[in-house]
């Protein structure tokens, strides 16, 4: 069943067209990795799907309903949750207060304070600490937990490993394994190609706001993705 359909989506930053007529579909339970160099339009695309950025043209269809004009808070209640780049926690609030605040918009489902703590032991012992006092890995785990506690049908993860030490990345991804293996529908933006290819069923590579490569992760070699990532496949096709 198609859970998300993006149809000829366009998003702008002023005069800059960051997303250029992007179309793809995401099946329920599928894990899709979105890769590309800085400035490729990945973050803008995720934010537009989540309702945090206004679409200039095209449609976002979620569970058969056109949500292109639906505000972000109503998309959360419909089942779309975004873990934004940079985490954007309420730094003066504790871990638990951040989670409880997000939980006010929660749909019925399996995720609660305790199930988040069970999945992310990294923050279980830090629940009473202010988010601003946490390490980068602990903040990322809190941000993911904040999204999960809304019981989303679609989880949008933007740059999970960005700015984290390797050990922190390992800890966060260990906790994510139970979420991903549990059948969650995930759209993941990840700078680490190895991790993206390892966790995803399918990969989309963007360049200059457009999709330039798409296919099953198992069928796409790392070199092929890297060439698309830097636009080298175009040069090869033209030569």
Q: What is the DSSP string of 53-111?
A: S-EEEEEEEETTEE-TTS-HHHHHHHTEEEE-TT----TTSBHHHHHHHHHTTPPSSS-
Question: DSSP letter at 201?
Answer: S
State both tokens at 27.
């099946």
Indicate the burial class of 228 (C-beta count within 10 angstroms; 0-12, 13-18, 19 or more). Answer: buried
Per-residue pLDDT of the chain (239 residues; tens, 9 = 90+): 899 999 999 999 999 999 999 999 999 999 999 999 889 999 999 999 999 999 999 999 999 999 999 999 999 999 999 998 877 899 999 999 999 999 988 899 999 999 999 999 889 999 999 999 999 999 999 999 999 999 999 999 998 888 888 888 888 888 888 788 777 899 999 888 888 888 899 999 999 999 999 999 988 888 888 888 888 755 444 33
Q: Which pLDDT value is given to residue 234?
A: 53
Number of structural domains the chain divides into: 1
Q: What is the CATH number of the domain that holds 141?
A: 3.40.50.300
pLDDT of 235 reads 44
Q: What is the domain extent for residue 222?
A: 2-238
């Amino acid at each position: 069943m198609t859970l998300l359909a993006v149809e000829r989506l366009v998003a702008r930053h002023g005069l800059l067209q960051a997303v250029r007529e992007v179309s793809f579909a995401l099946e329920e339970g599928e894990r899709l990795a979105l890769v590309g160099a800085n400035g490729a339009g990945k973050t803008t695309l995720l934010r537009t799907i989540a309702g945090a950025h206004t679409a200039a043209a095209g449609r976002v269809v979620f569970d058969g309903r056109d949500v292109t004009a639906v505000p972000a808070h109503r998309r959360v209640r419909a089942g779309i949750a975004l873990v934004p780049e940079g985490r954007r926690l309420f730094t003066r609030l504790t871990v638990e207060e951040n989670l409880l605040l997000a939980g006010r918009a929660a749909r019925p489902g399996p995720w609660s304070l305790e199930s988040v703590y069970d999945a992310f032991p990294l923050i279980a012992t830090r629940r009473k600490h202010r988010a601003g006092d946490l390490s980068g890995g602990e903040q990322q785990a809190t941000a993911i937990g904040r999204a999960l506690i809304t019981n989303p049908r679609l989880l949008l993860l933007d740059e999970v490993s960005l700015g984290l030490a390797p050990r922190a990345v390992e800890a966060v991804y260990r906790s994510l394994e139970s979420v991903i293996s549990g059948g969650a529908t995930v759209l993941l933006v990840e700078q680490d190609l190895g991790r993206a290819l390892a966790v995803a069923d399918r990969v989309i590579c963007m360049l200059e706001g457009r999709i330039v490569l798409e296919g099953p992760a198992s069928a796409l070699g790392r070199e092929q993705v890297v060439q698309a990532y830097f636009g080298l496949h175009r040069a090869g096709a033209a030569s």
